[in-house]
Amino acid sequence: MTDEWKPNKELIDWAKEHFAQMSVGGVWMPEGSGLTYVKEDEKRWRLKSILDSEEAKQNHDRMKMLMWDVGIIIVDDEPSILPVPENDEQAYMQEIHMKREIAQSWADKDGTLLLDMEMEDVYPEFVENKEILLDDGNTTNVEIWAYKAFNPNTGESISIDPDDYHLLMGDKYFMRFKHDKIVYTALSRQEMVESIDAGKKGVAIGSRIGGLLIQSSNYQAGASAHTVPPWMWGTYCSLWDGSEEE
């Protein structure tokens, strides 16, 4: 029952880190919950949609308890009520449709759609290390990253949360980053085999780039230590001279 459930310390600590990393305007759809939330500011989230089921309602009640314990209020006055899918396949398709519908409608304050801001040419940028206070009195550092897109109609740049960029652009553009004009693109297992067999340059990525001699057809340099986006850790990447697109 919902009234018997309480978030434990591990869940609260995870929530503090996860919610702090998300940018204002970011969308969160907890896996299998039937819920969609939007972060309106650092202390307030809004329930955007909920499945028409008792399970989803209980999940939302629990989410409100968790949010309350980390200092966040959920506004749930006008959510969209969605029909319960008949099977797993329908549930998956409904979730994908919901995500795409949300992403395609995202726009800057002047109404310019994010999809009209040449998002294919945007790469993740490190913003800051944010210190988060845990319940046991200790602190932990969370890396904040963002995609900074240029709005041609206002002449201003906007910051996009990594999860939102992923939702908007998919793995093809999300699983890559640029450092010293070199673009690192994560390869699938099959792509990795084909790349190695063809003798193409590649590199295994850890949490930092440091002390590696990186080579491509027309670029060579000793890369200095540099933080790598966390979602790229443990990948094998192809290398490409990104200055060619500038």
Q: Give the separation between CA 196 and CA 198, rounded to whole angstroms.
A: 5
Kindly state the average pLDDT of the residues 35-39. 90
Q: Give the separation between CA 5 and CA 76, rounded to whole angstroms.
A: 20
CA distances from 193 to 77, 122, 196 (A): 52, 28, 5
Q: What is the mean pLDDT of the chain?
A: 84
pLDDT (0 to 100) of residue 120 = 95
Q: Give the separation between CA 168 and CA 149, rounded to whole angstroms.
A: 13
Express each pLDDT in 160-207 by its tens digit: 989 889 988 989 999 999 988 899 999 999 999 999 999 998 999 998
More confident: 63 or 137:
63
CA distances from 92 to 31, 39, 85, 98, 245 (A): 11, 23, 9, 10, 36
pLDDT (0 to 100) of residue 210 = 63
Q: Are 53 and 84 in contact (CB under 8 A)?
A: yes
Q: How many CB atoms lie within 10 A of CB 209?
A: 20
Nearest to 149 by CA among 175, 133, 173: 173
Q: Does pTM surpass 0.85? A: no
Kindly state the average pLDDT of the residues 137-149. 87
Banded model confidence at residue 53, pLDDT cuts 50, 70, 90: very high
